[in-house]
Amino acid sequence: MESREDPAIRGGQKGGERSLHSEKVSAAQIQVYLKGIDYPASKEDVVHTAEQNNAPENVMKWLRQLPERTYNRPNHVEEEFGKMK
């Protein structure tokens, strides 16, 4: 299996890694792990993209709780995050 670099860590620098892997999840953190997704996207697409981008378990746990629907833009995912927070 191919090892993929964590998209939250740019150029091998880990300055923000601690906050990205903390238990708290932010809307900005979610978007980091959705890099490369094509919208509109289903919940399944959102979860799969985050998995492919090596999202940590705290992010995956939240994404798995998203309602089954079509997300037309990144801010639609963020809106659901705001409702569940």
Tell me which amino acid residue 65 is.
Q
Q: What percent of the chain has pLDDT over 90?
A: 62
Is pLDDT at 18 greater than 70 in this prediction?
A: no
Tell me which amino acid residue 73 is.
R
Q: What confidence tier does 38 reach under pLDDT thresholds 50, 70, 90?
A: very high
Cβ atoms within 10 Å of 68's Cβ, excluding its own: 7
Is pLDDT at 48 greater than 90 in this prediction?
A: yes
Q: What confidence tier does 81 reach under pLDDT thresholds 50, 70, 90?
A: confident
By C-alpha distance, which of 60, 55, 62 is closest to 32?
Answer: 55
Model-level pTM?
A: 0.72
